[in-house]
Structure 1
Amino acid sequence: MPDDKNIKISKILAKTRRKLLETGTRNRLIHVNRTNQRANCLNVINERSDDIYSLLRIDAKKMRFKAMGKDKGEGDEDMHLATPDIDQADDAERYTDNFIETPTGPEALARRLLRLAHDAKTAEEEQGLNILYLAMGFLRWRENASSKIQREAPLILLPVELIRDERTSTYTIQSRDDEITTNLPLQERLRQDFGIVLPEIEEVDSWQPSHYFLRVIEAISTQPEWSVDENGIQLGFFSFAKLLMHRDLDPTNWPEDAFAENDLLTGLMANGFEADTPLFGPKTSSTTISIQRKSFR
């Protein structure tokens, strides 16, 4: 039976871990505005999550980007973005080639990839963390039944990196070895607000994104206005720094009683610290200090 000290530490750690999960809609793990063309991200069209996952993650291939839109010309206010090609939806070969299709024009695509690569490298150098992910599958949800605002949250986040070809000044994308983790802020938001348990991601052999999407669809079945965009894909930045701290503070990741037996933690959270030995004695001291006068000539 856990003692009072263990219980107190566990409660403090649980409260701290909850605070680390930012569940507000400003967090891109809770809501992504995929229609914002000025955002530092890159939407993907005409691709399927299962095929992209197989090519990048399982086959460990490098993929290139293809611009399907047209750049802004003279007199144009905006570039001409390509839309998903529904007529070619049954063309299996387009999903298994080494190109990832994007709605932007060639020049806009080059600028966007350059900026993404630069910002990803800077973040990793300064923070020591990769924050560039390929988001696959988006949960379309609403904060309440009367809300007219549709939120979109990423479901699967594949850690990736952009590799520059110095000869052609183009970029390829490849998967990193980092694990794919569950979207914990979204999981906590759904639990708090709706009592919905977002499934854990368990990346095992023969696993595919579509397997996870089916489990999510089942979990949200009580919300008729919600849906899953299984082949919605976006390359962008998602910060997991606080989630790493959340994981490190999970008692199940440590030996039993590891926190309770740590003197520093128990001092901070439970017992306090013993008073240090004072540098000076009490104001009144019985010690007599002899002072000898010297004569100066």
Structure 2
Amino acid sequence: MPDHTPSPVSRALDAARRKLLETGTRNRLIHVNRANARANCLNVINERADEVFSILRLQGRRMRFRALGKDKADAAGEVPLALAEAAPDEDSGRLTDHFLETPLGPDALARRLLRLAGDARTAEEEQGVNLLYLALGFLRWKEAPSSDVVREAPLVLLPVQLVRNERSSTFDLVCREDDLSTNLPLQERLRQDFAIGLPEVDEAEGWTPAQYFALVREATAGQRGWSVDADGMQLGFFSFAKLLMHRDLDPANWPDGAFAGNPLLQGLL
């Protein structure tokens, strides 16, 4: 019978790849505090993930931002996220328009977009990669059934950029052509702690976020207190630099035996 025992090189490579996945709650791919009104991000409310995905990704159209809050002297001025999520859907037509509604006031929204655009440009110039994503859908999960702390992890991350709209003197949101990828840190955390297999994001023809969310609900159905916020959205920064290294070290992306059969690596290990 063939020996399927992993070689020392394969075991070392697997350990190195796992170390690249930061699975602690400080990683925004594991937990996003959407209630933090002052964070360098922007919550999007009263929208539907499938509609936004279709406009940005499938149709390649731009989307603009709409301020629903009021500017206040204390610089808060946000519509509370919980109230916004609970608001009745009085106008279904706004779900298919090209505006993303936000809880900020007009001035606060303009400042937030200017900061996000500047930080995204600086990060790309310095690191050579895009860090700005529109998170579509969140897994609301607990580290223990008895815990009162609900974590929120993004499920679909749409690579985007903020483009200056000269006519309106503000910014439009445009989808980049980069591939979608599975939230690997979340996938590893769920595997380690709960023996749950987070489904892969497979952007095949006809794929929609709603289909993916249904698979996530099925995979996590046995966890008490867990849920999927299918239409929760946030524009913010998510780092995939180490995930690219993780992918580069995947033996599946190399010719057979490129790692395990390498005499130099065998000698080192």
Alignment TM-score > 0.5, same fold: yes
Query: TM-score normalized by structure 2?
Result: 0.93
1:55 and 2:51 aligned: no
Partner amino acid, structure 1, of 2:67: A
Aligned residue number for residue 152 of structure 1: 152
Paired residue for 2:250? 250
User: CA 1:87/1:24 → structure 2, altered by over 3 Å: closer, same or farther?
Assistant: closer
2:206 — aligned with what? 206
Secondary structure class of the residue paired with 1:244: helix
| Residue number in structure 2 paired with 1:95 | 95
Find the counterpart in structure 2 of residue 20 from structure 1. 20
User: Which letter does structure 1 place at the counterpart of 2:183?
Assistant: N
> In the alignment, residue 79 of structure 1 is paired with which amino acid?
G
Structure 1 letter corresponding to 2:204: V
RMSD (Å) for aligned C-alpha atoms: 1.9
Aligned position for 1:293: none
- SS of the aligned residue for 2:7 comes to helix
Match of 2:72 in 1: 72
Residues 1:270 and 2:260 aligned together: no
- CA apart distance, 1:164: 0.8
In structure 1, what is the Cα distance between the partners aligned to 2:54 and 2:75? 38
What is aligned with 1:292?
A: none
What percentage of residue pairs aligned between the two structures are identical?
60
Matches within 5 A, 1:167-206: 167-206=167-206
4+ aligned runs moved over 6 Å, structure 1:
none
Change (3 A) 1:219 1:272: closer
Separation (CA, whole Å) in 2 of partners of 1:3 and 1:209 = 37
Deviates more, 1:86-95 or 1:236-245: 86-95
Q: Tell me the number of residue pairs that the alignment of Structure 1 and Structure 2 aligns.
A: 266
CA distances 1:69-98 after superposition (whole Å, capped 9, x unpaired)? 00013xx47324264275652633101111
Aligned residue type for 2:22: E
Within the alignment, does 1:81 sit opposite 2:82 as a pair? no
Give, as a single letter, the amino acid of the residue that structure 2 aligns with 1:192: Q
Q: Any conservation in 1 of the 2:7–2:260 contact (CA below 8 Å)? A: no
1:165 deviates by 2.3
1:118 aligns with 2:114: no
CA offset at residue 7 of structure 1?
Answer: 1.0
Give the secondary structure class of the aligned counterpart of 2:23.
Answer: coil
Cα offset for 1:206? 1.1
- Unpaired runs of 5+ residues, structure 1, are 274-297
Q: CA deviation at 1:205?
A: 1.0
Query: Secondary structure at 2:203's aligned position in 1?
Result: coil
Distance in structure 2 (CA, Å) of the matches to 1:176 and 1:190: 28
Q: Which structure is larger by alpha-carbon Rg, 1 or 2?
A: 1
Contact 2:75 2:108 in 1 (8 A): no
SS at match of 1:162: strand
Deviation at 1:261, TM superposition (A): 5.1
Deviations along 1:205-258, one digit per CA (max 9) or x if unpaired, are: 111100000000000011121000000000000000000000000001111012
Alpha-carbon distance between aligned partners in 2 of 1:159 and 1:147, rounded to the nearest angstrom:
33
Q: TM-score, normalised by structure 1?
A: 0.85
Read off the aligned partner of 1:139 and give its amino acid letter: L
SS at match of 1:84: helix
Gaps of 5+ in 2: none
